[in-house]
Amino acid sequence: MKIEGSKITLNQRTLNQEEKKTLYSSNKEIDTMSEVWRYPKGTPTKIVFTIEKEGKTIGELKMKNFRWFNRKAELAMILIPEEQRKGYGTEALRMIIDYAFKDMNLHRLEGEVIEYNEASKKIIESLGFKEEGRLREAKYSKGKYWDILRYGLLASEYEK
């Protein structure tokens, strides 16, 4: 796809290696952008775990949007409705936080909660996550727009 302007054209395509080298020729430009483009091919951007109880899958937990140089990742979790509010979500998050900070040596974890999800807010806050921001009216659900709350947790905060 192309979008034509009066002075420039936007082309929907990915830069090739030579174009990247030319465009990102100094550290000044590189320091202001995501480092993802510099990762070696095959570097994982997510790790997915199933949450299982008595051999049955009851949910999924993802570590995604890794930023390896910054040592951070985002967490996302879903449980089937009949297994919610039984402590499994808290236990799963505690396990993955321990793994992320102690085994993977990550520095920071992030997560999002839709403002109407009081149970998820309670869980994430009980584990030490701090609300860091709000994406205003970023989620459309149930006939209206809702804010998405952004949370963060540092390894040093969790160890306390």
pLDDT, tens digit, 9 for 90 and up, residues 53-69 = 999 999 999 999 999 98
d(CA 138, CA 140): 7
d(CA 152, CA 150): 7
pLDDT at 16: 80
Give the Å distances, CA to CA, from 146 to 98, 104, 111, 116, 149.
31, 34, 16, 8, 10
Q: Cβ of 79: how many Cβ atoms within 10 Å?
A: 18
Q: Domain ranges in the chain? A: 40-159
* More reliable by pLDDT, 17 or 13: 13
pLDDT, tens digit, 9 for 90 and up, residues 89-140 = 999 999 999 999 999 999 999 999 999 999 999 999 999 999 999 999 999 9
Tell the CATH topology of 40-159: Aminopeptidase (3.40.630)
